[in-house]
Structure 1
Amino acid sequence: MVSDLELAVLCGQLVVGGFRSTEPSKRFLDELSAGRRGGAILFRRNLPDLATASRTCHALLDAAPSGMPPFIGLDQEGGRVARMPAPVLKLPAARVLGQTGDIGLIRRAARAVAEELHAAGFNLNFAPVLDVDSNPRNPVIGDRSFSHDPAWVAAAGVAFIEGMQEGGVLACGKHFPGHGDTDTDSHLALPRLAHDRARLDDIELPPFRAAARAGVASMMTAHLVVDALDPGVPATLSRAVCTDLLRGEIGFEGVLFTDDLEMAAISALHRVEDAAVASIAAGCDVVLVCSDEDAQARVHAALVAHAERDSAFRARCTEAGTRSLAARRRYPPRPLPENALRAKLDSAEARALLDALTAGASQAGQGNDPTEHGREAGA
């Protein structure tokens, strides 16, 4: 039972971290082994080649305590946000998938990617983007969105989610409650949406409602202020957004991740440990701290200290830990040996699908934006 875990282990299940080294440091593996981390998020810096990716996923799984499989996650959206090296299947940008108008193709594409990620040892993909591409000046979303039409974003997003989860990998709809109509990059500053609630219900929220109905395993918050929901409070830290709206009104039952708490939208205004406590209190289940292992330790210590003195917060940690562990036990990582993995990736079906997607991308006119976004901008 999650409620029987030592408090340090319970709070550890709410922290997923990254590391700057190519492979996990001894410190990171020791923290994972002790139950003080719930898993890892990997980036290109950790995945220079397939052999390294395979070793890392095996090392993370081997380090995790018995009965507590880790999250092993990454951003493999496609287009300009794709972390795994060749020969892993890389999809074109979501906009191109959306322009195909083919729900079946989107679902098959997501399933094919998931099957390869699952074989490599991943059980979580921070995709799809459910933001609506409603602002051409948006510096961070753009072609990561399926469409400017909320209904089509919802339909394509659900197809992607279903394919991903059929392939054995937890999907993650992001960035709730909608990052599409901002002109500020939340890696650099805190964006603000001034729209009224009626506009949110028409444009921003429909894809997230559809994803919740479809059983998406997880979602990720956006680091932005939505005036109509909670003036002045970033969504990641807002109970009105994370609990009242997402849980109470929309009915989402999966795991809620924060976006990276090291991003300037949060870190310029809050210490990372304070933000972590506030986000869990608001209704998030897992906090992401994507590179700084010292910051991860401070976050963990702050969660434990707050839970020791606040019984309501401890109950919230138990609820979050229950969701976190249930998802990982339902979708445990199962990396193949490297040789078997390479054979799995040499799939005629996957190559044919890539050819079809490439042809579709050419016909749809894929945008040319080499700028690297996502939580690893510039890395």
Structure 2
Amino acid sequence: MNRQGSLILGIICCLLILSGCLQSVPQDNNQDDSETIPPMIETPEKEPVIIGPPEIIVSPIDEMIDQMTLAEKVGQLLVIGVEGTSFSDEMDNLIRNYHVGGVIVMGKNVSTAAEMLQLINNIKQTNEPNKIPLFMSVDEEGGRVSRLPAGISKLPEAAKMGKQNDKTISYRAGNYVAEVLHEFGYNMNFAPVLDINNNPKNPVIGDRSLGADPELVGRLGVATMHGMMDNGIISVVKHFPGHGDTVVDSHKALPKVEVTLERLRNVELVPFQQAIDKGADAVMVAHILFPALDPDYPSSMSEAIITDLLRDDMQFDGIVITDDLTMGAIANDYTVPEAAVQSFISGSDLLLIVNGYDNQINTVNALVAAIEAGEITEERLNESVKRILTLKEKYDVADDVNESVDAKKLNDLYQELISRLK
């Protein structure tokens, strides 16, 4: 090869080497994507992935609601009282044909331990053909509000428990009550009282309250609530939004409390908010007029109090139950069916009707009529029924009967608790 050919060959080799170096230089990360050189070989397009509609998963409770009749759904909204100390034809009809959601046993129904157990067993056995078990409920606060028969030890009044100022004792008190109630076959207790004892003229609360300090009432009340919940009893805290500062007994007439919402938030609502934050399953709403919140309706019938305050502001998504709608605070101004329909529209789930077979039957009929007229939507009805069934499932509520009550075991537990009191 001559000298000129060697020079040309050298130039070609240098150009090839230089080309290879340029290709190995990393790309500038700041380079505009629009200036990126497309690859020489195009990547074949992938087949499009067709995504269908998401699978709709229906829960067993939703399936059950879909299969329920209107009468069965409406029946679940009622917790009814018993007349007398023995089972009756009226009770049989309300359970068997009106599918009521629950029953409450009051002091007037209590005789001996054996008769009380028999009454509860009869109620449950009557409900066996129905597919949904009953809430078996009671007011077992201790002190002067107790539904226990003679021979079974009851808790001291709440004020005495409050003076202990001991969360462990309060928890054990809740646990003891749960043990007692299980012996008789209950699954729901309307306790503890979370009212603040801040009015010495109050004729109905007083020593039923844990005390005058909202923080103490909340702390000990929540401990008692958990003592029941952890032992399988549904605790219903009461009386929202606070019955402590009243001078009228709502069993007889409608109390009126002239306080601001700010005052309620700083005092009366403190224990309820603590209970909600700590997992309360159920709240009982009182019959009290709070003009600053609702000038027209008592709290148990007020959307401003049940939905706006309790559900929306305080973020409670559990069961709301009324106090007894046959109490004077309501019955003096409304028929029971009128009050029940208004309360349900305002956000309640369970309607407590202790007295009067006609009141109970007429309330069912009024609710059905309101639904058929479009005053209550079926969606709203299903919302409450779902809450009710979910709570029953959570606590494995069943219509099992107990053969006997072990009074000695209960009284031994009570002595253990009392020994801890100062």
Please report the TM-score for the alignment, with normalisation by the length of structure 2: 0.81
1:354 match: 418
The C-alpha deviation readout for 1:169-224, integer Å capped at 9, x for no partner, is: 10011111111101111111111111111111111111111111111121111101
Which residue, 60, 78, 81 being the options, matches 2:123?
60
2:7 match: none
How many aligned residue pairs are there? 357
RMSD: 1.6
Which structure has more relative contact order (CA 8 Å, sep 6+)? It is 1
2:223 match: 159
Alignment gaps of 5+ in structure 2: 1-63
C-alpha distance in 1 between matches for 2:370 and 2:409: 46
Pair 1:314 & 2:378 matched: yes
- Contact (CA 8 Å) 2:167, 2:220: kept in 1 or not? yes
C-alpha distance in 2 between matches for 1:227 and 1:140: 21
> Is the alpha carbon distance of 1:323 and 1:138 closer, same or farther for their aligned partners in structure 2, counting shifts above 3 Å?
same
- Contact (CA 8 Å) 2:193, 2:209: kept in 1 or not? yes
- Contact (CA 8 Å) 1:112, 1:167: kept in 2 or not? no
The C-alpha deviation readout for 1:309-363, integer Å capped at 9, x for no partner, is: 2174332221111112222232215655333x22674553332213444xx4xxx
Which residue, 132, 135, 148 being the options, matches 2:196?
132
Higher-Rg structure is 2
- Contact (CA 8 Å) 2:133, 2:399: kept in 1 or not? no
1:102 match: 166
Instruction: Using the aligned pairs only, state the percent identity.
Output: 39
> Is the alpha carbon distance of 1:224 and 1:205 closer, same or farther for their aligned partners in structure 2, counting shifts above 3 Å?
same
2:59 match: none
Read off the aligned partner of 1:350 and give its amino acid letter: Y
Which residue, 45, 48, 55 being the options, matches 2:108?
45
> How do 1:1-379 and structure 2 match up within 5 A?
1-64=64-127, 65-310=129-374, 312-331=376-395, 332-333=397-398, 337-339=402-404, 341-342=405-406, 345-346=409-410, 348-357=412-421, 360=422
- Contact (CA 8 Å) 2:125, 2:399: kept in 1 or not? no
- Contact (CA 8 Å) 1:2, 1:318: kept in 2 or not? yes
C-alpha distance in 2 between matches for 1:132 and 1:100: 16
- Residue 3 of structure 1 deviates from its aligned partner by 3.9
- Residue 113 of structure 1 deviates from its aligned partner by 1.1
Please report the TM-score for the alignment, with normalisation by the length of structure 1: 0.90
When structure 1 is superposed on structure 2, of 128-137 and 312-321 the one drifting more is 312-321
- Contact (CA 8 Å) 1:89, 1:116: kept in 2 or not? no
- Residue 20 of structure 1 deviates from its aligned partner by 1.9
C-alpha distance in 1 between matches for 2:418 and 2:153: 7
- Contact (CA 8 Å) 1:111, 1:164: kept in 2 or not? yes
- Residue 23 of structure 1 deviates from its aligned partner by 1.7
Alignment gaps of 5+ in structure 1: 361-379
C-alpha distance in 1 between matches for 2:384 and 2:138: 21
The C-alpha deviation readout for 1:48-82, integer Å capped at 9, x for no partner, is: 11111211221122122443110111100000000
- Residue 281 of structure 1 deviates from its aligned partner by 0.4
